[in-house]
A = this chain, B = another copy of it.
Amino acid sequence: MDRYLVISSDCHAGLEPQHYRNYVDPKFRDAFDEALPHQVRSTKTMEESFLISDINAEWRKGYETLLTGAWDHAERMKVMDGDGVAVEVIFPDGITEQNAPPFGAGFSMPTEGVDPELQWAGSHAHNRWLAELVSQAPDRRLGLACIPVLWDIDQSVREIRLAKENGLTGGIVIPPMWGSLPAYHHPRYDPIWEVCQDLDMPIHVHIGPSPIQEYFGPMKEMQSGTGPDLKGAMGAYLSEVVFWSSRSITFMIWAGVFERYPKLKFSIVEGAIDWVPDFLRTLDVRYTDSPQAQKLGDYISHLSMKPSDYFRRNVRLGAACMSPGDGKLGESIGPDCIMWGSDYPHPEGSWPYTQDQMVKAMAGLSEDEVAAQLGGNAVKFYNLDAKKLAPIAARIGPDKSAFH
């Protein structure tokens, strides 16, 4: 075959906020109507803080219709075909198309000032709608169910089973931050890890959430524009944002979660991947004997391998936003770990310049390496049927000659 099979490990979809109403359980619709204007306002604020409006408007120009693929089946197919993406993994949307699910559901799932019942109601609404979107092109879409696992473990386990039955076979998204609730090294989460291993449902955290007010000031000041000029807030945010999501893995690796559930799959998604070699080195150094460690008791005897070994076996990177040459990081991170992603419809992703950015990201890699990062690694991770996908790739996949 002269074309690559491409799986995008990071795409987003979500309804415009008012259209989630029909997917919300009737008993929560009054609450939905009440919350909607607040949600629209705070999403708008976030968008303005994170994306200079004129740059974003400029970026959108000419792509207005294709951007409705954020929720529209037909437009979305055009985008994926144009990008050469045979299969996409679908997260809820973030702020950039202002189409996050209601009630603080989404990939952030914050725990402060949130009603757990409503966050579940928002998750249900999104998961229902997403199952419909997936069913319109089941061979091309892997939907991820939003599961706010922090509140009730039994309920979460039931919902994970239900998600798989309903066709959301890509796995689940869990909150990357636990607030004042127990972190992911706590044994209370074991039933979650167990059911995900049993059903082969990969777990995902999506980078982006942070204690946002530490960087940008109180939401009120952000909205009113009355706060002081917090110079460099964005620089601090960008320097730290990976920390807030990667700590899920830190806690799970040290807790021995991947020791006890050796087939559990975990994907950490978006963000440059240049942080990973440093991250693994730090964990491994803390694992090996150091003058400090010897005095702090035994925290490693429940682990049969060093932290980076668990990472390379169980963890994958949904690598949207790859910079030129990033593919080479596979050599130090691990050849199976990098799964390319487009991040459609977000402006920080590759779309609408996907093929150009793809080629630059993969610079210097062999054909096998490119095949692995663009699709092969995801085929294994999501247990896809490459043979069944071959005709799609043969029709829309990027031409290998562009890469070599």
Q: Tell me if A155 is interfacial: C-beta within 8 Å of chain B.
A: no
B234 engages A239 (CB within 8 Å): no
Cβ < 8 Å to B, chain A residues 282-308: 282-283, 285-287, 290-297, 299-300, 302-303, 307
CB neighbours of A292 from chain B (8 A): 238, 272, 321, 348
A-B contact pairs, 29 of them (CB 8 A): A51-B295, A51-B296, A52-B296, A185-B215, A185-B231, A185-B236, A186-B228, A187-B229, A187-B230, A230-B255, A231-B299, A232-B251, A232-B255, A233-B254, A234-B296, A235-B253, A235-B286, A235-B287, A235-B299, A236-B250, A236-B254, A238-B292, A238-B293, A240-B243, A275-B282, A278-B278, A278-B281, A278-B282, A292-B348
A300–B235 touching, CB < 8 Å:
yes
Which residue of chain B has its CB nearest to the CB of A51? B295
A291 to B272, CA, bound (A): 10
Q: How far is the CA of A291 from the CA of B360 in the complex (A)?
A: 12
Cβ contacts under 8 Å, A188 to chain B: 228
Kindly report which residue of chain B lies nearest to residue A293, judged by CB atoms. B238
What is the CA–CA distance of A307 and B240 in the complex, to the nearest angstrom? 14
Q: How far is the CA of A251 from the CA of B239 in the complex (A)?
A: 9
Q: With A56-B295, A278-B278, A296-B50 in contact, do A254 and B231 touch (Cβ < 8 Å)?
A: yes
Query: Is A55 part of the contact surface with B, judged by Cβ < 8 Å?
Result: yes
Does A368 make an interface contact (CB < 8 A)? no
Chain B nearest Cβ from A191, distance in angstroms: 14
Question: Which residues from chain B contact A233 at a C-beta distance below 8 Å?
Answer: 185, 254, 299
Bound CA–CA A68/B199 (angstroms): 59
Cβ-defined contact, A186 with B287, below 8 A: no
Distance in Å: Cβ of A257 to nearest Cβ of chain B: 9
Contact (A323, B239) CB under 8 Å given A50-B296, A232-B256, A256-B232: no
Instruction: Determine if A214 is an interface residue (Cβ-Cβ < 8 Å).
Output: yes
Besides the known contacts A183-B214, A232-B251, 12 further A-B residue pairs in the complex with CB atoms under 8 A apart: A55-B297, A185-B231, A185-B232, A185-B233, A186-B230, A231-B299, A232-B256, A232-B299, A240-B243, A272-B292, A278-B281, A278-B282
CB 8 Å contact bits of A244-275 with B (1 = contact, 0 = none): 00010011011110000000000000001011
Given contacts A232-B254, A296-B51, contact A247 B240 (CB under 8 A): yes
The contact string, 1 if C-beta is below 8 Å from chain B, for chain A 318-360, is 0001010000000000000000000000011000000001000
Tell me the complex Cα distance, A185–B229, Å: 9
Main secondary structure of the interface of A (DSSP, over half): helix
**Measured between alpha carbons, how far is A188 from B275 in the docked complex, in Å?**
32
**Complex Cα gap A342–B166 (Å):** 60
Contact status A290-B272, CB under 8 Å: yes
A59 at interface (Cβ–Cβ under 8 A)? yes
**A285 touching B272 by the CB < 8 A rule?**
yes
Q: State A278–B275 Cα separation when bound (angstroms).
A: 8
| Closest partner residue, chain B, to A181 (CB atom) | B214
The interface residues of chain B lying within 8 Å CB-to-CB of A293 are 238
Residues A348 and B291 in contact in the complex (CB < 8 Å), given A274-B285, A297-B52? yes
CB neighbours of A347 from chain B (8 A): 295
> Nearest-CB distance from A67 to chain B (Å)?
15
A255 touches B278 (CB 8 A): no
A109 to chain B, nearest CB (A): 17
CA distance A291 to B56 in the complex (A): 13
